Structure 1
Amino acid sequence: MTHFLQALLTDYDDSLSSDSYIDPMGLLIIWSAFGRQVFRNRINSVSNDVRNFTLNLFHHYLVKKLIEDDDVVLNNALQRLYQNKDGLNFKQASLIFLENVFVFSILRYEASLVDVDPAGILGISNARRRWMNEKHRPALIFTHEPAGQILVRQLSLGVSGRYKTPLMEIGFFDGNYHYHKPAYQGRWAEAEKLIAGRPNSLLGKAAYEAYKFLKACVSRPIQGGKLQFDDVSTKLTEAYARAFASPQVVGRYAKTFWLGQTELDQGAAGALFHVLEDTEDITPQEVIERALEHGLPSSEKAKLEQIVQLEPFLADCSLLFTLMASRRTQSTSDVADAWAKFGRDAMRLPQAAKAVAEYPNLPAIKGTAAAARLRQLVAAANAGSLDDQMRALAIYHSRVMQSRGQVSWLNVGSDGTIKVHARTVSLPKPESRPPGSWHNNYYLPQFRSFVNGLRGADA
């Protein structure tokens, strides 16, 4: 369910979760805000693959070109459905149609082209079931409606949905896929160079074949409204498969472009980028600590320093709650004994809270639900004795769950008895969570995936 929620929403909104076992402390909304600040909404849990970044831009390039091409007139059926080429629904239909062509192209060539790697392709599992189970190769339908979608809710879960926010933030289009505002033109001029600037490149060949195909599909009627994939030219499908064979293949030709567009090799993100380029098997904590050794402007350095101060506090709040939820029934004294085994005492949370007490007022989260959550956690940490801290943490947790329309996992009775009403939580080993250790990742594993693709390396 976690992957489903993250796939549906570019930015996490835990009030929409229907699974009470997702993030019981409501911490994701806090740490993700600080992670997004570092990466400026270019990288997150659902947009971190250079192949998908490039594929989405490629498809928008084709749609933009189609809109600008005065020689292209929609066939009668599409004219009745969409009226004109510049409508949002028509653009969505075009994007879904192209995504489906790409996915089936990969399936057509995954066994015959050595570099083709289907891992990480959105919709590949559903597409493969259709590819294998139907008597004939699947049919393509040009529509924004569910009938033409490989993925359920493809407009949200497909490439164009998951990678919409980063391209908007960079400045290729707005929320309604308007491409032609003056502020966007410099971006599209660079995209033109990447995609069509070298006609004999992998991407150039794919662009030529894909645009010719898309232009024909929207101009001429499709018999019965369905285009059999067997009728799609092998020139097009092979060009797709070669140009987008894997993140590594894409990274080799798109690295310079994407670093220029995202600026993820600059500032705080850039320091992380260089650490990840040079190291393997390194924890998020180590990545950020090493990145801070780079000479950074004070404003960029502060973004990383905030995480260094914030994360031990969030990690320990999570750990204390885990201890409280580890047994069906126990006392606050039992939890205090366990807390001590992890090297913590009653002063641990108050001390950690001091470093982050003013964080709710930072621009990254000020005025948001994340700020309110963090302020409440700081208050719980300063509730008094460890027993009082546990009670305050239980109340905080209850409010988080109530905001989701869910029941709390546990409660603390007046006699100090903690009763867990949900599944108990497995305890980590004390040596795995020493004081100061981290629990959350701030999108660093996702950034590593992006970096590995850019450098043409396996994730």
Structure 2
Amino acid sequence: MFIKQFFTEFDDTLTQSLNIDPLGMTMIWSRLGQDIFHNRVSSISNDVRNYTLNLLHHYVIKRVVEAQTQLSRGLQAVYGHTDTLAFKQACLIYLENLFVFSMLEAEEQQQVSVQTQGILGTSKARLLISSGAPTQPLKFTREQSGQLLVRQLTLGVSGRYKTPFTEMLFFDKEYRYHQPQSAVSWEKASNFFQENEELNGLANALFEHLQEVIKQDAKVPAILWQDVSKPIKQAYAQQFATPAVVGKQSKAFWLNVTELDQNAAGSLYEIINTQTDETGSAQPFFEQAIENENNAFEKQKLVDICHVEPLLAECELLFSVLMSQRVQTEEEVYQRYLGLERNVNSIIHLARELQHDIDIKAKFSGVAKKRYEALLALAQLDNTDSQANMTLLVDALLKYHCAIMNQRGQSPWVERDSQGDYRCHIKSRTLPTAAQRPYKTWFNRYYLDQFSQLIRGLEGKSND
């Protein structure tokens, strides 16, 4: 049997915002955003508490590997030895679950003022508690039976923060800690724990606890909740009570290893940290960062975003016009667009401004490059304002949209019907007014909100 016939190659066109990004622009703006943040900040990795929790758990597991502890015969049959990906994954799931139950117990008993919002896995953990767990044993396994989240290895703390930690050279994709390039990062981490007595005490207690767990001669060791020491449960609650609590003791370390207070990210950091409201457009933050940034190379990263975003935003607005009614004629679309104080040239002009910028084009590769170039191709259309040229522009945008949806194996959200009208197949959108959405107003936020959340935690501020 040829097993390859049952599998397909990874396709990155299918994994980006399937249900919220009809123009496939996430690939474009995220590439420009990560040019600044270097994958330290994303939609799923932006919480200093989870950052530090992941560091703690990997630090403990690394020590277990270095201790060359012999696994029980039962665990050897499953994992072989401690320096394997599967064993480390089992450790990560077990420790994450231990943390979740510790935090919920502290919340219930009001031992420590803890904030459980933002803790991954609490929903299932609460259900287990209400049904009599965690008096039932905690399982040491990487299989779904021991997970508090569906696909916890991907969607749990370790999965969400794997990319940032890999980028910071703590380990590679196989969780190998002892690569030459990882030595500096782990030296900094070791110093951080040594300088934080209580957090280091928790690390030591978890190390000893894991040593006992892996001595159990079973393929899936089971640990009774009451057998987990109270100091471990209490230390989890005290050291990770809120993101602000974690940030106060870890700010210097994280800024040192992430370098998010330097270069273009640092310019944004300074502005965000002095603002009380980040709910408005991201545009003024980036424009102010350009003024503050002295390094020409870093400044250009901010400038490129300011140049590209108006095109993305205006394409999004035109598509919103197409989604604003269930059925529209060409004339109705044109008039609604004019009502937003736009015309045929509004998008075409922006595409023409960008079409010869080779440096921006060079930032993209693969699917993102194809999509960006497809938007730039709108520059070739006739920009004379007329109903006929408006129809050509709309049809070009719809062709682009349909190509993206075909790549995903999904139906278009908007398309021409048999009468030649534009028909929207999903819930209609409410259009902004021209005053609410002036020309070139930004739509995408380039991780500004996620960066703001991380900064609030680092600065010891509440995320409420």
Q: Give TM-score scaled by structure 1 length.
A: 0.92
The letter of the residue matching 1:418 is Y
Is 1:107 matched with 2:100? no
Aligned letter for 1:117?
A: Q
Give the aligned CA root-mean-square deviation in angstroms: 2.1
Q: 2:405 aligns with which of 401, 404, 411?
A: 401
The answer to whether the Cα contact below 8 Å between 1:380 and 1:396 also exists between their aligned partners in 2 is: no
Partner of 2:14, secondary structure, is helix
Deviation at 1:231, TM superposition (A): 1.7
| Structure 1 match to 2:14 | 15
Cα shift at 1:223: 11
1:250 equivalenced with 2:246 (yes/no)? yes
Which of 443, 449, 456 in structure 1 is aligned with 2:447?
443
1:136, 1:400 → 2: CA distance? 46
Give the counterpart letter for 2:189 in structure 1. Answer: A
2-structure distance, mates of 1:363, 1:17:
20
Q: What's the counterpart of residue 390 of structure 2? A: 386
Give the C-alpha shift of residue 175 in structure 1. Answer: 0.4
Distance of aligned partners of 1:136 and 1:190 in 2 relative to their CA distance in 1, 3 Å threshold: closer
SS of the equivalent of 2:328 reads strand
More displaced 10-residue stretch of structure 1: 284-293 or 165-174: 284-293
Residue number in structure 2 paired with 1:8: none
CA contact (8 A) 2:77 2:219 kept: no
Q: Structure 1 pair 135/154, CA: closer, same or farther in 2 (3 Å)?
A: closer
Aligned equivalents of 1:362 and 1:418: distance in 2? 33
Asked if the contact 2:313/2:441 (under 8 Å) is kept, the reply is yes
The one of 159, 180, 188 equivalent to 1:182 is 180
Please list, as runs of the form range in 1=range in 2, the aligned pairs for 1:297-446 lying within 5 A after superposition: 297-358=295-356, 362=360, 365-384=363-382, 385-412=389-416, 417-446=421-450
CA distance in 2, matches of 1:138, 1:293: 58
Question: Which deviates further from its counterpart, 74-83 or 377-386?
Answer: 377-386
* 1:138-189 deviations in Å (ceiling 9; x for gaps): 4211111111111110000011100000000011000001111111111101
Aligned-partner SS, 2:415: strand
- In the alignment, the residues of structure 1 paired with residue 355 and residue 405 of structure 2 have an alpha-carbon distance, to the nearest angstrom, of 23
Could you tell me which of 91, 95, 99 is aligned with 1:94? Answer: 91
Unmatched tracts of structure 2, length 5 or more = 1-10, 383-388
Amino acid at match of 1:305: V
The 2-side partners of 1:14 and 1:429 are apart by 33
How far does residue 383 in structure 1 lie from its aligned partner after superposition?
2.3
- Please state how far the C-alpha of 1:360 moved relative to its aligned partner: 7.3
Separation in 1 of the partners of 2:16 and 2:460? 36
- 2:218 is the counterpart of 1:218: no
1:63 to 61, 64, 74: 61
Deviation for aligned residue 1:320: 0.3
Quote the residue 1:205 is aligned against.
Answer: 201
- The answer to which of 214-223 and 268-277 deviates more is 214-223
Percent identity between matched residues is: 39
**Residue aligning to 2:263:** 267
Equivalent pair of 1:310/1:355 in contact (CA under 8 Å): no
Check 1:406–1:176 CA distance in 2 against 1; reply closer, same or farther (3 A cut).
same
1:411 counterpart SS class: strand
Distance 1:101 1:222 in 2: 19
Per-residue CA deviations over 1:64-120 (Å, capped at 9, x if unaligned) read 1000013x2111211111111111100100111111111111011124234311111
Q: Does the CA contact (< 8 Å) of 1:349 and 1:382 recur in 2? A: no
Question: Retained in 2: the 8 A contact 1:360–1:374?
Answer: no
The answer to which of 59-68 and 292-301 deviates more is 292-301
- The answer to whether the Cα contact below 8 Å between 1:33 and 1:364 also exists between their aligned partners in 2 is no
- The farther-off stretch of 214-223 and 249-258 is 214-223
How far did residue 202 of structure 1 move? 2.8
Measured after TM superposition, the shift of residue 418 of structure 1 is: 1.5
Q: 2:226 aligns with which of 230, 252, 259?
A: 230
**Per-residue deviation, 1:18:** 9.2
Runs (5+) with no aligned partner, structure 1: 1-11
Q: CA deviation at 1:219?
A: 2.3
Alignment match, 2:75:
78
Question: SS of the counterpart of 2:214?
Answer: helix
Secondary structure of the 1:432 match is: coil
Corresponding residue number in structure 2 for 1:7: none
Matched position secondary structure for 1:362 = helix
Asked if 2 retains the 8 angstrom alpha-carbon contact of 1:401 and 1:408, the reply is: yes
Supply the distance in 2 between the matched residues of 1:363 and 1:30 (Cα, whole angstroms): 11
Deviation at 1:363, TM superposition (A): 7.1
118-127 or 201-210, larger mean C-alpha shift: 201-210
Q: CA deviation at 1:125?
A: 1.3
Cα 1:224–1:378, aligned 2, differ >3 Å: closer, same or farther?
Answer: closer
1:128 and 2:132 are equivalent in the alignment? no
The CA deviation at 1:124 is 1.3
Q: 2:261, 2:269 within 8 Å by CA — same for their partners in 1?
A: yes
SS in 1 for 2:287: helix
- Structure 2 vs 1, CA of residues 224 and 268 (structure 1 numbering), >3 Å: closer, same or farther? closer
Q: Give distance in 2, aligned partners of 1:314 and 1:224.
A: 51
